[in-house]
Chains A and B, each alone.
Chain A
Amino acid sequence: MTGLMLLMAYLALFGLLLISGMNPIFVFVIGIGMVLFQYFMSDKLVLKTTGAKAVTKEEQPKLHEMVERLSKIGGIPKPRTVAIMNMEAPNAFATGRSPKHATVAVTTGLLSKLNDGELEGVIGHELAHIKNRDVMVMTWASLIVVVAGFLMQMLFWMSLFGGFGGHRRQGNGGQAMAMMMVVYIGVIIIYFISQLLISTLSRYRELAADREGAIMTGSPTNLASALKKISGQIAQIPEKDLRQVEHANAFFIIPALQGNAIASLMSSHPPTEMRVARLIEMQKQNWHLLR
């Protein structure tokens, strides 16, 4: 469904380009160039921007052993780079255009806050992204966002400098300008719809990586526990006494944590509660029989 809607968005963008008189091939070639750059340079760019440093087997034997063992279980080559970011917040990422060129990075906060089982859960999830070639899928899926974004900027600057046709098409200036405005608005709509679709696709890929990673490690609850820690749910456990709250009559007015609906639509990751619930459901359903 998401794929079909993305295809429709591509067709709509193509149509708008034809209407506007721009060469769609030229615009898409520029977009593809940008995406290719991102695709081939993603690992280097991400390492540079996050400040992650590659670590050797001698420096981090446990982490390397974990990555190596889970890669074998997952049936993929061990990622070329294992890196650590000096960051208190517990987090991790995987990048690289193929399993052979992959990088797995974790923060120092993740290493210190998670136990071995939970760390395995997170590494398994990241290796699942590599196995599922999510970097490639997401990079190419986001081509439409790159192209629409590029067009938005181009049309914006054209409108500022009178490039909407007023000068050259003297007789039809008003009509041309109106048409370009329609194209501009159309491109903006396609840009936001594409962003939503890419976010939806990303959330699917995250859930798939949760599942694949849990199968690799053999323990969905380890990843569930790690997700809770990473999302800071532990910090939300109250310190007050149950009786204190009951006497204050406040127990029933504590709102369930509700995310902002729009923010959750644009989010690249599904809500932690949903991921945890699915992992626990997996544990319940004797998922290990699938291994």
Chain B
Amino acid sequence: MRLFKTLFKKSNSLQSDESDILSAILRITNQDAHAKKDINLLGTATLLLNITEHPFFTDINSSLKELVKELFMPTIRTPLRGLKSDIYKSCWIIFENTNNRKMVADINSVSSYIANLGLGNNMTAAIFKGTIKNRSFYWICNYRTSKFYPLAPLANDMRDNELEMEIGNLLVSTGIPLEPHENWYSLSDIPI
């Protein structure tokens, strides 16, 4: 799946520590001494889907239960919750796991499952919650482009663009593919 490819490039294994992009993510989240920044992921992520007439979306919670059953519990180590949003006819699947590595693997498993249902184009983005210098931000993986960008929301639908630029520089310096800043679209009502 796109997220997996984006994060792990050609590797299908979680063992390739230094060569994949996940290790880059982990390097900066583990407070790399040279980065001098403290990005932390908070063990929460969400997968954003746009809703269509497909039965999967009729009762998203039942669909997720089915998904967990199909993928077998050992594969899914993450509690999943479905959440619908009416404004944009979209829904969110929420992942919670303090182990970021496992959480990424779980998002990939769920993404693959959904893609196998023929709903690959319904997946918009995976969103991770993080902090930098004790300020919250989201780390968005755009499934259309397989690239990442930061989103630092403030009150009243405002955004901290300067912080986003700072995070963007940090992301790209670790080799993570960064979305061009003209495509750093906002996302409102993120449920994590």
Contacts and interface: CB of A to CB of B under 8 A. Distances in A.
12 contacts: A224-B169, A234-B165, A237-B181, A237-B182, A241-B88, A241-B187, A242-B142, A242-B185, A243-B48, A243-B124, A244-B185, A284-B174
A184 to B, nearest CB: 45
Contacts of B174: 284
Contacts of A236: 181-182
A238 B181 CA distance: 8
A254 B170 CA distance: 25
B50 A247 contact: yes
A242 B165 contact: no
B166 A225 contact: yes
A245 B159 CA distance: 18
B173 interface: yes
Nearest to B90: A243
Contacts of A234: 161-162, 165, 181
Contacts of B175: 284
B90 A284 contact: no
Contact of B186 (A229, A238, A256, A276): A238
Contact of A243 (B164, B166, B173, B187): B187
Residue from A228, A242, A257, A286 whose CB has the most chain B CB atoms within 10 Å: A242
A240 B186 contact: yes
Contacts of A254: 182-183
Chain B interface, DSSP helix/strand/loop, else mixed = mixed
Given A225-B165, A229-B165, A288-B34, A239 B173 contact: no
Nearest to B183: A254
B83 interface: no
Contact of A239 (B48, B170, B172, B186): B186
Contacts of B173: 221, 280, 283-284
B134 interface: no
Interface in B138-192: 140, 142, 144, 159, 161-162, 164-166, 169-170, 172-175, 180-188
B126 to A, nearest CB: 12
Contact of B50 (A225, A229, A243): A243
A246 interface: yes
Contacts of B50: 243, 246-247
Contacts of A237: 159, 161, 164, 181-182, 184
Contacts of B142: 242
B54 to A, nearest CB: 17
A239 B183 CA distance: 10
B125 interface: yes
Contacts of B183: 238, 251, 254
